[in-house]
Amino acid sequence: MDRLANLPWWAILIMLASILFIYSFITDEIYNEVFNKIVVGIRLTITVTSIAYLFAITIGLLTGLGQLSSNIFVRNLALLYVQVIRGVPIIVQIFYTAFVIVPAVITLINLAGDQLAIMGWLKTENIFTKLSVREVNFITRGIIALAISYGAFSAEIFRAGIQSISSGQIEAAQALGLTRFQSLRFIILPQAIKRVLPPLGNDFIAMLKESSLVSVLGVNEITHLGKKYAAASFRFPETYNTLAFLYLSMTLILSMGVKAMERKLKTGSE
C-alpha cells in the first residue's frame, strides 16, 4: 500500500498524456497539422530565451555586486533598477522596452551622430545618423526586454548568494592580505556561484515560459504561431493542447536537468 502511495503519480499521468499526444501527432490529421504549424517556432523560442538569458545573468551579476557596493551612486542605481523592474508587470516592460526605450536609444544615437558631424569628426551622413528604429527588429527588442527584466531577478539571486557566504570567509581573505577584487575572485564568487546555480537554472525555465510574452510583439515563436493558427482555423482545443504540451515537455526536461545539477553540486569538489 505504502509503495503505491509513494509512487510519483503526477509524473505517470504526464507520461501517459505525453504518449497520448505523441500518438495523436502521428495518427490524427488535425493534430498532425497543428503540430507541424507550431513546432517551427521552437527554434525561435529557444534562441530568444538563450540569448536573453545570457544577457540577463551578466546584468544580474553586475547589478548584484552593485547592490552590495560601498559606492553610494552604484548601490542606489542597482537598487533603483531592481525595484522598478520588480514593480512593473513583465508585459508592460516588454511594451515599454520595444516602443519607448529602444526608439529613445536610437534617437540618442542619431543625435550623437549629428553632433559628431558638427564637430567635424564624421561626415554629415554617417552610420550613427543613418540608423533607424525600423532596423531594430522585434525579435531583438523582445530579447532586450526579457534581458532587462530577468537581469533584475537574477541580480537578487546573485546578491543573496554573495551574502550567504559567512563573514568569517571575508575576514580570512582580508587577513591573508587579499585585495577586494582577489577575495571576490578567489573566495566569495567560487562559493557563491555554486549556491546560485540551481536558482539560476530555475530562472532559465521561468524565462522559457515568459518568452511566450514576446508574442505580443509579433515575434513568431510558438505562442504567436499557435495564436495565429487558432484564429484562422478555429481549432482552439487542438492548438492550445499542443502549445501547452510543447512548453511542458521543455520545462520538465530542463527541471530534471536542474535537479541533477543540484545533486552534483552537493557532492562535487572543484
Partner 1 sequence: MLSIQNLTKIYDGKVLALDNVSFEVNKGEFLAIIGLSGSGKSTLLRCINRLIEPTSGQIIWNNLSITTSSQEEMRFIRRKIGMVFQHFNLVSRSKVITNVLSGRLGYINPTLSLINRFPQSDVELAIKQLERVGIADQAYKRADELSGGQQQRVGVARAMMQDPEMILADEPVASLDPVLAHSIMQYLEKLNKEEGVTILCSLHFLDLVHEYADRAIALNQGKLMFDGVPTEIDDKKFKNIYGQEAKRVG
CA-CA distances (angstroms) from residue 16 to 11, 24, 252, 260?
9, 12, 14, 23
The values of phi and psi at residue 263, to 5°, are -60, -45
The answer to whether the beta carbons of residues 127 and 35 sit under 8 Å apart is: no
CB of 180 to partner 1, least distance (A): 9
> Hey, what's the torsion of the CAs at 230, 207, 22, 233, to 10 degrees?
0
CB of 182 to partner 1, least distance (A): 6
Nearer to partner 1, 29 or 270 (CB): 270
Nearer to partner 1, 98 or 200 (CB): 200
Nearer to partner 1, 135 or 270 (CB): 270
CB of 126 to partner 1, least distance (A): 37
Rounded Cα–Cα distance for residues 11 and 1 (Å): 19
Nearer to partner 1, 137 or 182 (CB): 182
Q: How far apart are the first and last CA of the chain?
A: 43
Amino acid identity for residue 25 in this structure: F
Nearer to partner 1, 38 or 65 (CB): 65
CB of 61 to partner 1, least distance (A): 16
Hey, how many other C-beta atoms are within 10 angstroms of the C-beta on 63?
A: 23
Hey, how many other C-beta atoms are within 10 angstroms of the C-beta on 174?
A: 13
Nearer to partner 1, 120 or 268 (CB): 268
CB of 255 to partner 1, least distance (A): 24
- Could you give the maximum distance between any two Cα atoms of the chain, in Å? 85
Q: Interface residues with partner 1 (CB under 8 A)?
A: 166, 168-169, 171-179, 181-182, 185-187, 190-191, 194, 269-270
Angle between helices 72-86 and 42-67 (to 10 degrees): 140
Our CA angle for 8, 11, 16, nearest 5°, is 125
CB of 123 to partner 1, least distance (A): 40
The values of phi and psi at residue 132, to 5°, are -120, 150
